[in-house]
Amino acid sequence: MDNNNESRFERGTRALSDIDGESGRKVVDSLADIAPDFARYIIEFPFGDIYSRPGLDLRSREIATIAALTALGNAAPQLKVHIQAGLNVGLSRDEIVETIMQMAVYAGFPAALNGLFAAREVFQEKHSLAA
């Protein structure tokens, strides 16, 4: 990504839109009345600084994010946003499911099961919207 002339906020806004689409915008917008500064931090740091780095492609970054959120075991809303983001950047459903299943080895079966249930919800919602 050519980031030379963009501010962190501009770069982050573009990356958030490209990666998370409407789901990401909803998260940011939901913070407007309680923590607008935190919403700006989300745009600038993860998306403007980290996601915009050249070292990994967006598919790899979303695999890592889905794995981490699955392993945490307590971040289902964020996991759903990033499962959708994975689909947005070209991950297949099978790649997402395999990433989540891999976490059973490191985070345990309960975390992997919760991740798989979150994936099923995202896949079903996406299917119902497409129908």
Find tokens 């500064």 and name the residue: 37
Q: 40 and 72: one domain? A: no
Would you state the pLDDT for residue 131?
60
Query: How far is Cα 45 from Cα 47, in angstroms, rounded to an integer?
Result: 6
* 74 shares its domain with 10: no
- Measured distance CA(50)–CA(37) in Å, rounded: 18
Q: How many angstroms separate the CA atoms of 55 and 5, rounded? A: 19
Amino acid at 84: Q
Over range 36-51, report the average pLDDT: 96
- Mean local confidence (pLDDT), 68-78: 96
Q: In the predicted model, is pLDDT for residue 4 greater than 70?
A: no
Residue 82 has pLDDT above 70, yes or no: yes
Whether 33 and 7 share a structural domain: yes
pLDDT tens for 23-33 read 888 999 999 99
Task: Clarify whether residues 51 and 62 are in a common domain.
Answer: no
Same-domain status, 124 and 64: yes
What CATH number does the domain containing 61 carry? 1.20.1290.10
SS3 47: helix
Residues 114 and 61 in one domain: yes
Number of domains in the chain: 2
Residue 113 lies in domain: 57-131
75 & 35 share domain: no
Burial class for 122, CB neighbours closer than 10 Å (0-12, 13-18, 19+)? buried
